[in-house]
Amino acid sequence: MSKRDYYEVLGVSKDAGDDELKKSYRKLAMKYHPDRNPDDHTAEEKFKEVNEAYEVLTDPQKREIYNRYGHEGLQRGGGGAGAGFGGGFADIFGDVFADIFGGGRGGPRRGADLRYTIELSLEQAVFGTTETVRIPTVTDCEPCHGHGTADGKPARECPTCRGAGQVRVQQGFFVLQQTCPACRGRGTAVTDPCKHCRGAGKVRSEKTLEVKIPAGVDTGDRIRLTGEGERGERNAPPGDLYVQVQVRPHEMFERDGNDLYCTVPVSFVTAALGGELEVPTLSGKSTLKIAESTQSGKVFRLRGLGVKPVRGGATGDLLCSVVVETPVHLTKRQKELLRELGESLGEKKHSPQTASWLDKAKQFFDSHIKP
């Protein structure tokens, strides 16, 4: 099954900037998050698709590859989503050009970058936290001390390239230099390999890291841990670890940028007469003053009770949208009182929206319905 265009997946144009990508990703990630769509396989697949598209389009190197060569370029270059950040499209042609121009790739390569997605609660994202994570990694094989040999001693020099990691091949008038086919550029040959690592000298393991999450992060943000990726070859520098933030949906609040939104149910009486309500915030309780004659859908702003941006700036606000509740399970006497109230409110001045709507409806019928 062919993959959809990443720009189409995120619903953005090809010249979309990082802010637009992040905003679209956050919206879609919240929409298709497994916590909001339990047992929905389609939503789960879309969630994975959105994550994959965001990972590629927010990585400058991968995005350039994708823009030029599409999905095939990423697959051939080993730079697709979930494959880490090491390598690059140049690797596809690296051996070929090196062979022709004599550059070679026998030198030790930097370790691959790794990606780890961490899920946080809204509170953790807003106030910051320190999380312990376990990251897959590669370490030296202990029985052979990283040499890959059965006796644990350093491997002997490759007899084909004599330790250079490269060989010279003459083709007609040209003398080409290419990676040694015997040792694959390592410069050493293992004749009696270690049974534990099968001659690789390295084994898969896990390492534990303490990741400090700064206050104000949001879905789509990435934290870079320098040198915590995979180890490089032959003492080459290691890659980096990119921790990508995914904020779980909250039962009370929704976040949009630096602002928080919540819905507050208000009784019919409080909406009509006014009053005060205690509303929750991420830092405690706050008092919301309900003005007299408040209508359903009215939004009250509590300044400074939103999110402080991770990169600095003014703290956002908490916006409370009022929903006026209709009384239920009324007694006979309560119904009588409401009927009496309804009769006393017969004048249009008590229901301005209703009066305006009725006038518009009458004009519509008069102009569209012929006798």
How would residue 171 be classed by pLDDT, with cut points 50, 70 and 90?
A: low
More confident residue, 249 or 347: 249
**Alpha-carbon distance 253 to 261, whole Å?**
6
State the residue for tokens 């409080």: 270
Among residues 216, 67, 231, 41, which one has the least CA distance to residue 137?
231
Lowest-pLDDT range, 65-79, 99-113, 162-176? 99-113
Q: What is the pLDDT of residue 371?
A: 55
d(CA 9, CA 49): 7
Structure tokens at 105: 């790739």
Alpha helices in 146-297 (DSSP H): 268-273
Residue 112 predicted with pLDDT over 90: no
pLDDT reported for residue 147 = 82
Assess whether pLDDT exceeds 80 at residue 155. yes
For residues 118-142, give the mean pLDDT: 90
The residue to which tokens 């590629």 are assigned = 56
* Cα–Cα separations (whole angstroms), residue 38 to 34, 42, 50, 238: 6, 11, 17, 39
With a cut of 90, say whether residue 304 has pLDDT above it. Answer: yes
d(Cα 115, Cα 83) in Å, to the nearest integer?
8
Chain CA centroid to CA 356, Å: 46
Q: Write the burial class of residue 297 (CB in 10 Å: 0-12 exposed, 13-18 middle, 19+ buried).
A: exposed
Between vectors from CA 282 to CA 277 and to CA 283, what angle results, nearest 5°?
85
What sign results for the dihedral spanned by CA atoms 233, 238, 240, 241?
positive
Residue matched to tokens 């509590």: 302
190, part of any domain: no
Residues, the chain: 371
> Which of these, 72, 73, 82, lies nearest to 49 by C-alpha position?
82
DSSP single-letter state for residue 112: P
pLDDT in tens, 320-360: 999 999 888 999 999 999 898 888 876 556 666 666 766 77
Q: Report the number of distinct structural domains present in the chain.
A: 1
Neighbours of 82 (CB within 10 A): 10
Element (H, E) at 66: helix 60-77
In a domain, 56, yes or no: no
208 is a domain residue: no
174-211 as b/e: b if 16+ CB within 10 A:
eeebbbbeebebbbbbbeebbeebebbbbbeeeeeeeb
In a domain, 322, yes or no: yes
**329 domain-assigned:** yes
User: How far apart are alpha carbons 292 and 254 in whole angstroms?
Assistant: 27
The answer as to whether 108 is a domain residue is: no
Q: Domain for residue 197, yes or no?
A: no
Residue 176 is predicted with a pLDDT of 77
Does an H or E element contain 42, and which? helix 41-57
Residue range of the domain that includes 269: 254-368
Other C-beta atoms closer than 10 Å to the C-beta of 305 total: 20
Sequence-ordered list of residues with C-beta below 8 angstroms from that of 39, at least 6 positions apart, any chain: none
Q: Residue 191 falls within a domain, yes or no?
A: no
Rounded to whole angstroms, the Cα distance separating 153 from 357 reads 89
Separation of alpha carbons 233 and 93, rounded Å: 20
Here the CATH number for the domain that contains residue 270 is 2.60.260.20
Residue pLDDT, tens place only, 262-281? 999 999 899 999 999 999 99
